[in-house]
Amino acid sequence: TPRIGVLALQGDVREHMAALTAAGAAAGPVRRPGELAEVDGLVIPGGESTTISKLAALFGMTEPLRERIAAGMPVYGSCAGLIMLADKILDPRSGQETFGGIDMIVRRNAFGRQNESFEAAVELAGVAGGPVEGVFIRAPWVESVGAPVEVLAEHRGHIVAVRQGNALATSFHPELTGDHRVHGLFADMVRAAG
């Protein structure tokens, strides 16, 4: 059973833990470097990327996270978590830093005021059995990607799911649906890396 942590500084931590458990993983919260050292993979939840960035610095987690991600630890980020995995943010708040790991530029709150929250069926490469229900909440999109990045899904012509090596990211929140296929895909990535 893969041990998968959920970065528990801010965001929808409980929902990710429930989805991971349903997908057959052993899930637990990660707040400290010592807890990070004990997991085989990590989820970075949805929430508010500026807050996650600040709290990670406060908890001494920024460098340990960067190092483990760079060393190939499997990692999955949804929404704010996708932003945290971007090598670059198009419109960062002052002082907003990411952990990086995916060679992409993201645009925060990209889908705009009229569509701050919406749901849409999303065809996701690597996930069999039909489209997933994409829950988008003040969601980012991926503005551009570098050569190592595989685009897994687009919505209205914008990239909303990507993978680079052991790093997976979605603009939307599968943890808020009853569908655990994305967490299942991530658990398989963690098993394969172990």
- Single out the catalytic residue among 155, 175, 180, 183: 175
Residue 27 CB, shortest distance to ligand GLN, in Å, is 19
- Our finding on whether 20 is near ligand GLN (CB under 6 A) is no
48 is in an annotated binding site: yes
- Our finding on whether 79 is near ligand GLN (CB under 6 A) is yes
Tell me if 93 sits within 8 A of 80, measured CB to CB: no
The binder of ligand GLN chosen from 80, 86, 145, 189 (CB under 6 A): 80
CB atoms within 10 A of CB 47: 22
Distance CA 56, CA 25 (A): 24
SS3 126: coil
- Our finding on whether 49 is near ligand GLN (CB under 6 A) is yes
Binding residues for L-glutamine: 47-49, 108, 137-138
Applying CB under 6 A, which residues contact ligand GLN? 46-49, 79-80, 83, 108-109, 137-138
